Amino acid sequence: MKVERRGRIAENDTPILQYTQEFKDHNGETFTWIWDKTKHSNGPLSVEIKDPQWAQYDKKEKQLIELLAKYEVKKGERKPRITKADKEATEQLDNEINEIFYSFYPEDRPKTRKPRKTK
């Protein structure tokens, strides 16, 4: 620190340009705001919301994305074939993700249509 002539310590006036803020809600949600004033001066650069009741959904969705990323078509290459085990795993993960989602929002579940009875 720089000491001035009259004994007063000079203040640190350099602004903080990069920082993170964490907020916790009463129901366990965690909000992480990432600020970078050099890139975006008016608001946060990104916001992460972690909800403990959706943690299992996020975990399954991440597994599904990783599994599908193996079979992503790259430029100039042939489309890779999906193995039977991976196809079953993707279907199972997709079903589990849907069940978790529809347990929170049952009104969004698609209706099952029954065949019409003929006389």
| Each residue's pLDDT tens digit, 65-99 | 999 999 999 888 898 899 999 999 999 999 999 99
Contact 50, 66 (CB under 8 A): no
pLDDT given at position 59: 94
Q: Which tokens in the block code for residue 36?
A: 């970078």
Please give the angle made by the CA atoms of 37, 39 and 43, to the nearest 5 degrees.
55
Q: Is the pLDDT of residue 118 over 90?
A: no
